[in-house]
Structure 1
Amino acid sequence: MINKKKTGLCLALAATLIASSALCGCQQSDSSTSAKFNSDVKDASKYTADENAQVYKTLDFSDEQEKEFAKKGFITAPDKLEIKTENGTVAWSQSAYDFIRNSSTPDSANPSLWRNTELNSLYGLFEVVDGVYQVRGYDVANVTFVKSDNGWIVFDCTTSSETAKAALELLESKFGKAHIAAVVVSHAHIDHYGGIGGLIDEKDVADSSLPLDEQIKSGKTLI
């Protein structure tokens, strides 16, 4: 037997869906009301400009301490940084941040985020403390090199082998050929392990099935 109550409910639902589809179709075809997106640079709306201006009243932008921290320990960096893959594709480029260098904060940007991006665009080899060095701005993650009696211990190794290799080459330009004794991956996000192939070759990795003291004696890289 047909359940009249369920049949009526299904018909009502179908009618609602048909009406909704028709309404959506009308809205999509109405070009006068649909949003238009493009890459044109536009001035900030008054609301956006006012909201961003309020940040200046909340934070002290005359305080340059963070910039001093970001520059501290700087050793060296190339004038321009563009890292390419073997087929010529750009793996990483600091030119993408040229828009922010030596420019004032536009009304369309949160000034605190703009300053943070300015500091992130500082790249090169830095000394953190004696024996601990970082290559910054060569990827979305930094590479940390720790000097030990047995060689260099590397903490994290960027997203790609190209950026990791470039970071290692920058270190070696200052300290000479680097023997990597160990690689430590802080966590399993690709920007912290993806570039390991740019630092070491698989044949140079110690056999993890051996006791640790034997791995160390082998002179190969611990992971």
Structure 2
Amino acid sequence: MIRVLFVDDHEMVRIGVSAYLTTQGDIDVIAEADNGQKAVELALEHRPDVILMDLVMDGMDGIEATRLIIDKWPEAKILIVTSFIDDDKVYPALEAGATSYLLKTSKADVIAKAIRDTYAGESVLEKEVTAKVMAKFSSRSSQALHESLTKREMEILLLVAQGKTNQEIADELFIALKTTKVHVSNILSKLEVQDRTQAAVYAYQNGLIENGS
């Protein structure tokens, strides 16, 4: 079972989405919160597999809650589900450590699949979000930052872009998990990105997936 914490300040939204998720068989909504502060408390108390996080809420918003959760629990997997796609929501949410980002207009089955994919270590981004992130990369210097990667780091970057977790990468390449984490950290630094999601977008933006270079 994928244990989910559902954070949204609209009770009817929580009731409706939770009702659908309980029919899936492999997803269990173990706790709900209607504000960011409660979300942080419940996240650290229950350590859910995936956190569904709204952004705009009274008191502490979802961006600050995401930042605090990741700061205290870096392994947390947070799936943003919001009505907002503005730059001042998208970039801060991803930079705070959110793994995935969807709009509330998404169908229930899409949200359920995103929960499974996020749990599996993949980054699920709304098409508009992907476009925004890619545009941000395009505005940077045209210097090919990935040319500074070692052969092993490039190999790991491509696996990260495929949604592989650190453990899966370690198993596939027959290297220690600790070594994998060091490589991933070096990759993020060299590519000047904040997280795995941005690293994956960089790989697609620069054609590394298609040509395998």
TM-score, normalised via structure 1 length: 0.26
Structure showing the higher helix proportion among its residues: 2
Larger radius of gyration: 1
Structure 1 or 2: larger strand share? 1
